[in-house]
Structure 1
């Protein structure tokens, strides 16, 4: 806004009064920059290309994603279907607390990589470190930290200095740690791996929920997936997957068991047998907040047969009832 941008606001959800609501707004007001969450993009993929094809999206010149790591398949769909293969995509990492975008390609400058946030912006210095705060090498995962002050950095939490220090500065001395895992590739570009607390310990091996979700949605039948860890007497934790199948694909005609068999093989081939989900439940929707973020906390409650927590922030709380009923009536495929 300080640069004179005009922003379009509306009240409602993406599928009311119809599933082309956002594209209708873009066409009507000639929106030039569209910035949304990967979860929303995967929802549009599930609804099909025919919906955005009804609208004129030629005013768009820049696309962005935010809120969670974006899988390459969603990135490519976003660019092709919404951006007409002409709009650069900026996959951004930042927090409300950082005051601005911290890691992102520069449109028109950076050679982008589908799924990678890539490089710190000018004035920002980031590193990926191990448990001892040593930088990791190419291809290795670790903790994403900021190792130098930046122009818009937070300086405290109002009235609670101790909480500020404990939350952001206690894990690594002198380094700002936001709680996200990442890895660097051979070019030094950064790939976000999700929250480090979204890591499962299966038979002594640490598995990223984000990595397994990306493997699942890379299957042509799957529009969206959410993975959580559930307590397991044998392995410590087991992988539980909730998947949404594309309505216009071959998977729409497959049984839940057939979907599960195909997806376990997909995960096995892409990551390894250890990461195969123990339980796969085909659902019509996964629980999301009104801003489009998946509420994995609630799925974890369901997977471990606990009372489901607060659902007031969900866009549609009835989604949880349907998921819980599916587990209780034996519709989940168990390995």
Structure 2
């Protein structure tokens, strides 16, 4: 299988990354933490970047791109720790909604969509949503491990398999991005922090821990891209691939968080260190759209139950191409 990204996909990823690096740094996260977590100026910037139109069909004013592009953008949202509901509203909801007027409103950034599903005991950003798809939410605000998430209790939710797979895919992508950012934070700190007359990054133990995180992320990325491709093309095993991606991304991001804390020492837990924003986002996303046990059970049912053959001759379908 040839799975090289196209020049257009790389340009999209790099453009989103450059924009978010310039507008959504740690100082913005700290400001949002004290101001309720949302800023209409940030939302408008995401709309003007075209992110709300990304996967909306062209007929409804969107860009008509696919889930691979959505996953690429979601990685960058995780890397920047974006808290605005662009992931659920713009990268998941358009694949669930058929109403043309609603799709056009999503593309224009005029309609925010929250998602309700029984796998989650909460609905994110229900207070700002013009539509709660799949159910409804109460006005009861819930606590989150992540101070920048706005969660509300579920009043009613329907078990929509499409929603689960699409949202789990985008959550996995954000976990990969958060893991990448935490690895960068830990590596940069290891280069600057000195002990016994040298940077701690020179110590073999530190190198091994950081290298292990890099390897975990490297293994998570292809699982993510395969899941996006399978889901986009309606493959029979798409749900299993999504669960694999969510598991791999969760494990990599949690490992990145634990390692980054260790590299920073005791101060890694403190509010003064920027790391804690990405760490808490990773913890929150790890349990969103199916926790580790949920997705491991889906994989077990498929593999041990015999529904999915495994082995080197089963990894990819013959003739699959991309790019």
Interval of TM-score (by shorter of Structure 1 and Structure 2): under 0.3
If asked which structure has higher relative contact order (CA below 8 Å, sep 6+), I would say 2
More strand by share: 1
Structure in which a larger fraction of residues adopt helix? 2
